Chains A and B, each alone.
Chain A
Amino acid sequence: KQEVTQIPAALSVPEGENLVLNCSFTDSAIYNLQWFRQDPGKGLTSLLLIQSSQREQTSGRLNASLDKSSGRSTLYIAASQPGDSATYLCAVGNYGQNFVFGPGTRLSVLP
């Protein structure tokens, strides 16, 4: 059974810092991995989707990497802004199965 963990559970940084969010999964036979952003009381916004054959994806200030063999993915946020404050969820997709979500990292970027 796939299990997904995220570290840290919460993070508070001053504006402008670069930061890394971590996601770990137990079963490396994944189809893809997706990072989402969730604002309080809102739904999910997809940030980056990495297929199992890829090692990283980039979108603007965001970069996500994937290391299947070690069961890890990182989300790198460059030059953080207060508007980046949200909960970031990692979701792992296994073949023929639904996503398994991690518990999330609550990020606060202080102005």
Chain B
Amino acid sequence: GAGVSQSPRYKVAKRGQDVALRCDPISGHVSLFWYQQALGQGPEFLTYFQNEAQLDKSGLPSDRFFAERPEGSVSTLKIQRTQQEDSAVYLCASSAYRDRSYEQYFGPGTRLTVT
């Protein structure tokens, strides 16, 4: 079956531009996570959805970051007024259960470069 997909795979933005990153989770997966991975580092948690409810957004680095999942499937991570420090790979993951203690399936990521 299809895995988690993300688009675009690569995005170059000029500083100050807004960007929107899309995540299509595995069909039927209840839980959805966003992570940010800087070069040479492990991923860092950003936010967590259970269906359409955003249950934890305390990992979002600033109020320029906003995520939504309005119908409980596709999710969008939006970054307003991008800064150079936002350059990273943004990973989306989904999990089949409400219980967050099960394995997560990751998408290929969107590599964002802010110039």
Q: Do A and B bind each other?
A: no
B-to-A contact residues, CB < 8 Å: none
Chain A positions within 8 Å of B, measured between CB atoms, are: none
